[in-house]
Amino acid sequence: MYNININPGRNTAMTNRERKEKGLVYCYDDPSLLGDQHIYQDKMVEYNRTLPTETEKRRQLLPLIFAEIGQDCTVETPLNANWGCRHVHLGNGVYLNSNVTFVDDEHIYIGDNCLIAPNVVFCTSGHPVLPVLREHHYVYNLPIHVGRNVWIGSGAQIMPGITIGDNSVIGAGSVVTGDIPANTVAYGVPCRVIRSIGKKDETYYYKDRKLDVWE
C-alpha cells in the first residue's frame, strides 16, 4: 500500500536513543532503551502494596519512585506508570488521587499545589498515524508541563507535548490536545478554553452556590 523503504533503527546516522532525546520518531523495541525500567516499576508496585496506615513507609518510598517530589505531597494508590514515575517531577503540596497513570517515557512536570483527580492520564508517548511506521514499531515522546495550582478533573487525558498554565482548571473527561493558558477554565473533547477565571469565581464556588468564606 505504501511505497516506502523502512529500515528500522538503521536508516539514519542517529541511534534510537539519540532520536528519542531529540523528540523524533524512534523504534521502541531497541533493547538499549530499556535500562532499569523494571526496577523502577518494582518500586512503584511496592508502594502500591502499602497500607494507608503505613505513612512512614510511603514517605520513604516516594523519593525513590519519582524523579523529584516536593514537600507535603499525597499520592493515593494505585499509581500507574510505565517507567514507575522515574520521569515524573512533582512540586510541593501536590495531590494525586487514585489510579492516576503516567506514560512517562518523557519527563512530566507538575507544579506546586496541583490537584489531580482519579483516573487522569498523562501521556508523553504517541505513535505515527502512517500504518507502515507503526508496523515497524516507531514511537515518539514529548514532555508535559503543568503549572502551579492547577486542578485536573477525573478521567482527563493529557496528550504529548502539552503545557497547562498556572491556576487553570481542566474539566472531568477532557482530552487535552493543545496548550491551555493560565487562569482559565477549559473542558471538552477536544479540550478548549471556556472562560477566564475572574469575578464570578469570587462569588460562586459551584453553579449558583455562593461563597461565604470572605471576611
**Residues that are catalytic:** 127
Query: Which residue is listed with cell 483516573?
Result: 119
CA distances from 108 to 17, 32, 146, 204 (A): 19, 22, 8, 32
Continuous H helices in 72-203: 131-135, 200-203
Using alpha carbons only, how large is the chain's radius of gyration in Å?
Answer: 20
Residue 199 CA to residue 83 CA, distance in Å, equals: 42
Inter-residue contact 25 to 4 (CB < 8 Å): no
CB atoms within 10 A of CB 16: 23
68: cell is: 523529584
- Residue 183 one-letter amino acid: N
Give 97-105 contacts, CB < 8 A, sequence gap 24+: 97/154, 100/76, 105/20, 105/139, 105/141
